[in-house]
């Protein structure tokens, strides 16, 4: 394609975008029921934007990686509206770009796109820019040069705020230059409380600090009060039913499916999403053979149907008839897409080397969708639901401990009477945690408290209606834990 022809195509694309987005913005951020509720990350992003507008130009590059369907595109359009209506930014100073649409027209990097935008609509260059520009970029994984473009834009002007959204495959790109220049906010599947906030506009607010305090101190008073408050809000909301909890466990985490009533359709779409992550997102960011793409899908299916979450590399290697090194590469890449995560066994360095890792899905609905699509081999419904609940609890604990440098989440590798999880403070408490549906036996948690000399242990189950503490054991109802 001739340079002049390419430039004309891109210029027309920009012109159409600048005219279309402000006029059709409402269609991107609302439906017949009104405006979509905002993810909690919205307020964090607007704090960066406010600082930039006030002249604090150091924090001007923000990455929003996340798997498909978690609401990244809606979030970008809500930020667009915030800039336009709350901060009164001229629409010609806000440009929204989706890289897959641009790539359908021609091969054009984010840097080239921005150069043309500045020249045509602001009669300037990146280096000479003297006004604030807001660059909102979606589906960035489709631009293989996004890291180079972002680095150049960041280095050559302090007057462009760069907000980049894309698949979690963005995290596969290990680039020290980008890490040094940007901040990163992972857009994860919704927690249950966040699900209720967005779907029903039930203001539950963030309770992670409260749950963290319970884990670290064993004091349940604050959480008991919060549990009563949450239950009152749910009871007084006519749209909420007890079926929502089960639907969330099996089909939740993705706001894109809120209006979808066909649960089979939701399940099928989640399966398609995982395949698309493997087929497109991973390939866009990392060279991976066709054989390993096939094996990546098989690894995900395998993890969805196994009874236990611990994975022997040798068994998986034999199962897929491929080298252990390939299995390790596949699991590493799948973790970086945030479809799965792993836990190591609690114990000595030697034990952690000998024992296998355990792998969980980032949300229980992915486990259900993948396992049910190929025929779940766990016939006991209560047992399978127990595994789903364990996955949900593990994901929540993983997020909490990942956000706190002083905490690490392990699984209990003890061969007899092991509990499900262990939270370890860097120089302090060991907190054993047992999860179970219809879990009435407390022998495992008692043994774990003695074994690890813990001050207390926690059982998360459906055998109590409210949070309570008996001796040195804290009992938390499953739904209450999910709502904190």
Mean predicted confidence (pLDDT) in 446-469: 94
**Kind of pairing between the strands at 430-436 and 421-425:** antiparallel
Residues 212 and 318 in one domain: yes
Is residue 173 scored above 60 in pLDDT? no
CATH at 14: 3.40.50.300
Residues 329 and 400 in one domain: yes
Element (H or E) spanning 197, and its range? helix 192-200
Give the three-state DSSP class for 475. strand
Confidence of residue 258 (pLDDT cuts 50, 70, 90): confident
**Total domains, the chain:** 2
Asked if 100 and 142 touch (Cβ cutoff 8 Å), the reply is yes
Query: What sign has the CA pseudo-torsion 346, 350, 351, 355?
Result: positive
pLDDT tens profile 407-452: 999 999 887 778 999 999 988 889 999 998 876 678 999 999 999 9
Name the percent of the chain lying above pLDDT 70: 94
Residues 198 and 136 in one domain: no
Is residue 481 scored above 90 in pLDDT? yes
Q: Which residues of 363-378 are buried (b: 16+ CB within 10 A; e: fewer)?
A: bbbbbbbbbbbeebee
Residues 302 and 181 in one domain: no
Is residue 310 scored above 80 in pLDDT? no
Among 157, 187, 217, the domain boundary falls at: 187
Residues 206 and 164 in one domain: no
Is residue 95 scored above 60 in pLDDT? yes
Domain that holds residue 118: 3-187
Query: What's residue 378's pLDDT?
Result: 62
Averaged pLDDT score across all residues of the chain: 88
Between 1 and 440, the more confident residue is 440
Query: What's residue 376's pLDDT?
Result: 61
Query: What's residue 6's pLDDT?
Result: 84
Between 467 and 7, the more confident residue is 467
Query: What's residue 474's pLDDT?
Result: 96
Q: Which structure tokens are listed for 330?
A: 């596949």
pLDDT tens profile 318-363: 888 888 888 988 898 898 888 999 999 998 877 788 888 999 999 9
Confidence of residue 24 (pLDDT cuts 50, 70, 90): confident
Confidence of residue 392 (pLDDT cuts 50, 70, 90): very high
Residues 142 and 279 in one domain: no
Residues 44 and 132 in one domain: yes
Nearest residue to 328 via CA among 347, 342, 338, 309 = 342
What is the secondary structure of 131-167 as a DSSP string? S-EEEEEESGGG-TTHHHHHHHHHHH-SSEEEEEEE-
Confidence of residue 375 (pLDDT cuts 50, 70, 90): low
> Which residue intervals of 2-109 are DSSP H helices?
3-29, 41-53, 72-81, 99-105
Query: What's residue 316's pLDDT?
Result: 86
Between 405 and 55, the more confident residue is 55
Element (H or E) spanning 307, and its range? none
Compute the distance between CA of residue 166 and CA of residue 224 in angstroms, rounded to an integer: 39
Query: What's residue 92's pLDDT?
Result: 94
Query: What's residue 288's pLDDT?
Result: 74
> Which residue intervals of 258-376 are DSSP H helices?
263-276, 282-285, 290-305, 313-320, 324-336, 349-354, 364-374
Among 129, 157, 187, the domain boundary falls at: 187
Confidence of residue 369 (pLDDT cuts 50, 70, 90): very high
Query: What's residue 379's pLDDT?
Result: 65
Residues 160 and 50 in one domain: yes
Residues 154 and 242 in one domain: no
Which range among 80-89, 302-311, 391-400 shows the weakest confidence by mean pLDDT? 302-311
Residues 212 and 343 in one domain: yes
Compute the distance between CA of residue 294 and CA of residue 127 in angstroms, rounded to an integer: 46
Residues 177 and 211 in one domain: no
Query: What's residue 85's pLDDT?
Result: 95
Is residue 100 scored above 90 in pLDDT? no
Query: What's residue 62's pLDDT?
Result: 95
pLDDT tens profile 211-238: 888 988 999 999 999 889 888 888 888 8
DSSP class of residue 396 equals H
Among 149, 166, 187, the domain boundary falls at: 187
Residues 237 and 176 in one domain: no
């Amino acid at each position: 394609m001739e340079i002049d022809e390419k430039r004309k195509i891109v210029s027309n694309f920009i012109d159409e975008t600048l005219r279309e987005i402000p006029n059709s913005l409402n269609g991107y951020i609302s439906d017949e029921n009104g405006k979509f509720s905002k993810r909690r990350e919205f307020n964090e992003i607007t704090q960066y934007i406010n600082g930039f507008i006030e002249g604090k130009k150091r924090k001007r590059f923000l990455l929003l990686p996340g798997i498909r369907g978690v609401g990244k595109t809606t979030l970008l359009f809500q930020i667009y509206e915030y800039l336009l209506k709350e901060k009164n930014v001229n629409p010609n100073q806000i440009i929204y770009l989706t890289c897959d649409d641009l790539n359908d027209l021609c091969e054009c990097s984010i840097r080239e796109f921005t150069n043309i935008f500045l020249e045509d609509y602001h009669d300037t260059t990146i280096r000479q820019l003297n006004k604030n520009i807001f660059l909102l970029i979606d589906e960035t994984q489709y631009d293989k040069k996004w890291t180079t473009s972002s680095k150049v834009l960041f280095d050559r002007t302090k007057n462009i705020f760069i907000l980049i959204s894309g698949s979690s495959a963005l995290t596969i790109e290990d680039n020290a230059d980008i890490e040094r220049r940007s901040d990163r906010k992972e857009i994860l599947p919704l927690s249950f409380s966040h699900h209720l906030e967005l779907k029903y506009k039930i203001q539950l607010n963030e309770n992670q600090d409260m749950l963290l305090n319970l884990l670290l101190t064993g004091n349940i008073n604050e959480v008991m009060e919060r549990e009563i408050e949450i239950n009152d809000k749910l009871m007084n909301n006519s749209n909420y039913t007890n079926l929502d909890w089960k639907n969330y466990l099996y089909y939740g985490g993705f706001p894109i499916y809120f209006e979808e009533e066909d649960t089979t359709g939701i399940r099928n779409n989640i399966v398609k999403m995982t395949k698309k992550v493997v087929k497109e997102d991973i390939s866009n960011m990392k060279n991976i053979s066709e054989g390993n793409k096939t094996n990546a899908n098989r690894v995900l299916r395998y993890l969805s149907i196994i009874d236990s979450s611990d994975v022997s590399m040798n068994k998986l290697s034999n199962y897929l008839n491929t080298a252990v090194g390939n299995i390790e590469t596949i699991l590493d890449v799948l973790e970086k897409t945030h479809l799965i995560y792993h836990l190591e066994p609690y114990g000595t360095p030697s034990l952690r080397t000998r024992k296998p890792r355990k792998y969980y899905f980032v949300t229980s609905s992915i486990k259900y969708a993948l396992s049910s699509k190929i025929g779940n081999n766990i016939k006991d419904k209560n047992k399978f639901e127990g595994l789903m609940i364990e996955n949900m609890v593990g994901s929540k604990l993983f997020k909490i401990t990942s956000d706190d440098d002083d905490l690490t989440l392990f699984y209990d590798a003890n061969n007899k009477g092991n509990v499900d999880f262990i939270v370890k403070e860097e120089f302090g408490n060991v907190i054993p945690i047992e999860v179970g549906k219809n879990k009435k036996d407390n022998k495992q948690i008692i043994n774990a408290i003695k074994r690890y000399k813990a001050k207390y242990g926690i059982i998360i189950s459906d055998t109590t209606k409210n949070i309570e503490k008996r001796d040195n054991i804290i009992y938390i109802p499953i739904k209450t834990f999910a709502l904190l």
